[in-house]
Structures are given as C-alpha cells and as structure tokens.
C-alpha cells in the first residue's frame, strides 16, 4: 500500500538514511548479509538509499522495486546508475523463478495487507541456498505506534509469529534472528 504523506516525508529524512546506514545495514551484515557478486533484489526500495548502500558492497546485479512511482522517480534521479522499477511485491510475475541470490527488505511487509502473497513470490524468486534479509516491527508495536502517531499503516493481520509460521510452509528457514527495540531483523534461507 502507498505511504501516507506524513510517512512519505519521514522516509525522505536524513534520520531515515542515518538509521539505514549506521544501524540497519551493519546489523544485517552481522546476520550474514553478503551481496558481493550476487544478484540482489530489494523490495520496497523507497527513494533509493538502500540501493546506494548495497551497491557499495559489490553485487553482480541490483534491482530495486517499489509500488510508488514517486519513490522510484526520486530513486532514479538520485542514483541514475542503479536499476529501479515500479512493482508490486504481491505480483512479481515479470521476474523469473530462482533469479536472485539475495532478497532484502527494509521494513515493508507491514505495509502490504497481502504480505503472505509477497512472501510466496520471494520464495519463488530466490535460488536454492539464497537468502532473504528482512526487518519488520512486531504487530503489537505497530498497533501502538499507529494509535500514537497515526501514520496510516494498512489494516492487516501482519505479525512476526504469523510471518514465521508462513515462512515455514514455504521452505524458508529462519537462520538467524535479532530483536531490536524498533524492528526484528532476520536472515532467512531457502533450503
Ligand atoms: C516504510 S517504507 C520503507 C522504504 C525504504 N525501504 C526505507 O527503509 O526507507 C515502505 C515502502 O514499501 C513500499 N511498498 C508498499 N507496498 C508495497 C508493495 N506491495 N510492493 C512494493 N513496495 C511496496 C512503499 O511504497 C514504501 O516505499
């Protein structure tokens, strides 16, 4: 689902970039993120700062997808050397099965009411032995945050327990998990 205008503005802030650069990416790396010479897909890439961080690590290829054309337009303007496309995580039929080594998500599934369908698509796109790195808030924190700040997150049954149960049915194995006060971070592997 598209972001509300308040969240859209927050996602463009220097604080968001600071968090991605100094906290989230290093934590993903501590969980085993290694994109060197890998084919990488970022889902919900926003205005492209994740692309900037990931491309510095030497992937073989990088594709950033986001539902919002205005995010992709910004990403293309800021980082013209990287590949960005408008795309919906719940329908990635334009991408071949087993075409990525690494899929990465910086806080996006809780924006997708049909998040299970997005995970099904990711399972299809990953190569055997490939890795999914994702970070998401707990459902309870999401509801509290929404009550306090009203960012307009979609109505959804998203929660970490439900997500973990769904992953199991897709043959995606939780390899490492790290709780932080805002987000829980995962390294998930396709067996
Ligand atoms: C909270 S923002 C995070 C953006 C960026 N990953 C970051 O960390 O700054 C969530 C992003 O997911 C995108 N999004 C929401 N639903 C989506 C979907 N179904 N498919 C792809 N992207 C989606 C939104 O447009 C938004 O850019």
Written in H, E and C, the secondary structure of the chain is CCCCHHHHHHHCCHHHHHHHHHHHHHHHHHCCCCCCCCEEEEECCCCCHHHHHHHCCCCCEEEEEECCHHHHHHHHHHCCCCEEEECECCECCCCCCCCEEEEEEECCHHHCCCHHHHHHHHHHHEEEEEEEEEEECCHHHHHHHHHHHCCCCCCCCCCHHHHHHHHHHCCEEEEEEEECCCCEEEEEEEC
Mean pLDDT of 61-90: 98
For ligand 1, mutation pick of 40, 46, 79, 92 (most atoms within 8 Å of CB): 46
Report, as an integer, the average pLDDT of 89-93. 98
Domain membership flag for residue 128:
yes
Average pLDDT for residues 77-82, to the nearest whole number?
A: 98
pLDDT for residue 156? 87
CA 67 to ligand 1 centroid distance, Å: 7
The total number of structural domains in the chain stands at: 1
For the chain, the average pLDDT equals 95
Is 169 inside any structural domain? yes
Query: Which tokens sit at 38?
Result: 């890998």
User: So what's the pLDDT on residue 171?
Assistant: 93
pLDDT at 170: 97
Looking at the domain assignment, is residue 102 inside a domain?
Answer: yes
pLDDT tens column, 165-186? 999 999 999 999 999 988 999 9
Report the 10 Å Cβ neighbour count for 21: 14
Percent of the chain whose pLDDT exceeds 90: 83
pLDDT exceeds cutoff 80 at 152 = no
**Interval between CA 173 and ligand 1 midpoint (Å):** 24
Using a 6 Å cutoff on CB, does residue 41 contact ligand 1?
no
Query: What pLDDT is recorded for position 139?
Result: 81
Output the six-digit token pair for 77. Answer: 């303007």
85 closest CA partner among 104, 98, 66: 66
Where in the sequence is the domain holding 151, given as residue range(s)? 45-88+96-190
Burial class (CB in 10 A: 0-12, 13-18, 19+), 47: buried
The per-residue pLDDT for range 14-56, each reduced to its tens digit, is 999 999 999 999 999 999 999 999 999 999 999 999 999 999 9
| Two structure tokens written together for 162 | 């439900």
Does 136 map to a domain? yes
The alpha carbon of 46 and the centre of ligand 1 are apart by a number of angstroms equal to 6
Q: Is residue 134 part of a domain?
A: yes
Question: Which of the two residues, 144 and 118, has the higher pLDDT score?
Answer: 118
| Residue 82 is assigned to a structural domain of this protein | yes
The CATH number assigned to the domain holding 174 equals 3.40.50.150
Say if 117 falls within a structural domain. Answer: yes
């Amino acid at each position: 689902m598209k972001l509300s205008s308040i969240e859209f503005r927050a996602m463009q802030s220097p604080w968001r970039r600071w968090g991605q650069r100094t906290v989230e990416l290093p934590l993903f790396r501590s969980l085993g993120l290694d994109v060197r010479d890998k084919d990488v897909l970022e889902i919900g890439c926003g205005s492209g700062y994740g692309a900037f961080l990931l491309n510095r690590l030497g992937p073989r290829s990088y594709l950033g997808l986001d539902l919002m054309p205005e995010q992709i337009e910004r990403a293309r303007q800021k980082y013209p050397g990287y590949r960005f496309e408008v795309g919906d995580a719940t329908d990635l039929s334009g991408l071949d099965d087993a075409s990525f080594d690494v899929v990465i998500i910086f806080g996006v599934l809780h924006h997708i009411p049909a998040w299970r369908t997005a995970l099904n698509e990711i399972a299809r796109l990953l190569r055997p032995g490939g890795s999914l790195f994702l970070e998401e808030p707990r459902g309870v924190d999401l509801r509290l945050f929404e009550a306090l700040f009203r960012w307009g997150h979609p109505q959804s049954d998203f929660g970490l327990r439900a997500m973990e149960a769904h992953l199991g049915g897709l043959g995606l194995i939780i390899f490492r998990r790290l709780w932080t006060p805002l987000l829980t971070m995962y390294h998930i592997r396709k067996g």
